[in-house]
Structure 1
Amino acid sequence: MNLNQLDRIRTGEGFIAALDQSGGSTPKALLQYGIKENSYSNEEEMYTAVHEMRTRTIKGFSFDSKYILGAILFENTMDRSIDGQFTADYLWEKKGIVPFLKVDQGLADLENGVQLMKPIPGLNELLKRAVERNIFGTKMRSLIKEANPAGIKQVVEQQFAIGNQIAEMGLVPIIEPEVDIHSVDKEASEKLLKAAILEQLSTLGKDVKIMLKLSIPTENNFYSDLMDNPHVIRVVALSGGYTQADANEKLAHNHGLIASFSRALSQGLTAGQTDDEFNTMLSKSIQDIYEASIK
């Protein structure tokens, strides 16, 4: 583990940029960016288009360590280069931004009010490659739709079991049990979730470090006690489908919680914009999310 990166994530001011839409969500991300499905004819062309979009974002003048602590990539982006350097090396060496990798393979079908992660075949091989590519940590997402105690327990147990496997490889896992922002019993789910997380934290080996990526809680500062846990180096928030303005407004009421936004970060960015227009929009988004994260 890179101790400079660990210190940056633990103590730095800023937020985590989530640039990790993969397989199933890539066409949607490209469409939001203004690239229609009929403009690429196969998977390779699609991934080339998404890498061009990612590169344009990462090379933006405001995509900088002054505001951004880390960036989450997906596997295809990790294996590609920016200006002759692998993406993770470019992020850290040129931008001072800590690289993370999304490792999950998407969500299983809804059961017990939740969607567990699908099995992750070849995870150890992926983690070995991540270490070789100078990745600092990983991210994996589950989804909670109902306040079902058994389902939420399953989600958290699965996340921590795989999190331990990741930590053993010297990487810091971001554990992401998202609570659906449209859930009718969101607050009840959050209470069950926090209790399950605290229970799992108590089982970790004393040197294991993790991060948590959670939906912005219904009750302000509800996750403060998780931030104080010695195993947790940072708690970050997903935007979860809120508009950027709504996500920022809610985030600002939660002291110590920082953003790890995806859709809310890329909102308003399009392929048709000039570089000046693109960078102006990106810069404003980054500034606004940064301000909400440091309150």
Structure 2
Amino acid sequence: FSLPMAWMNQTLVTEFFVQGFSEAPHLRFLFFFLFLSLYTVALSGNILIFVTISFNSTLHTPMYFFLVNLAVVDVLCTSTILPKLLENMMGRKTISFAGCMAQLYFFTWSLGAELLLFTAMAYDRYVAICHPLHYSTMMSKKVCLLLSTGVWSISILNTSINSSLMFRLSFCHSNVVNHFFCEIPPLLKLSCTPTYLNETMAFTADVFLAVGNFIITMLSYACIISSILKIRTTEGKKRAFSTCSSHLIVVSMYYSTVIYTYIRPSSSYSLDKDKIVSVIYTSVAPTLNPLIYTLRNKEVKAGLKKVFSFFKR
């Protein structure tokens, strides 16, 4: 009895050596402080949003329901990537094969869920502004649960397929990951077996999840802006445009970086540049989301005061 050659080759790699974000020794503590700060703000901000919305019945509306889902996704994303990155900066640069695949699975899961949630949130705002009289029907509790179930189910299906395809590869050339975490592009670079199927799946998923959802989101906001322009008061227009512009900046930044990373063939990857791009959707966006979507909101501020006053008792 003999094992298939691909499996034999794959089992040669029991752990990966992750190069990290920067190999410059004099920048190590600076980057450690930077990523520790990002993780602390992202974790505390998203947990605070989750608690505030969950314990305030006045915030139990479709918009805040999706924001709770976004907070969960952001905690999942940052907790999958940043603790291991901080450990890497402290000197432990290895990760087991199983740990690497787990990191890939949970990161890809959170990535897909975030893209889909942006679309669900854009649809919610579209209904609220363009069809306010039908909002309670079009965004009923049942519809929100269906949208949420779809977001998590599709993202789980996507990451399950991509992760399963990664297990079919053999890693026998090198175990050095030129990145700061286990992501699809740098891992494909290490494979000594054909990666065409993996690249095709990653490309297809990116077209569907990133490009497709980005187009839907932009169309939703085109309709929203058209409706805003019909508002008579200047103050009303400014308030609505302020909300839209903040959302569009984050969405555009997030989508553009994901599309840039995943929609190219592996031969064109520039992993050193990709590290900087990856920071945006793994660290910066999850940190900014609570600040942009909720902490500037008067209703959320009122909810936060209730939460703080409760803990002061």
Give the TM-score, by structure 2 length.
0.26
User: Which structure dedicates a bigger proportion of its chain to strand?
Assistant: 1
Give the TM-score, by structure 1 length.
0.27
Higher relative contact order, chain-length normalized (CA < 8 Å, sep 6+): 2
Q: From the CA coordinates, give the structure whose radius of gyration is larger.
A: 2
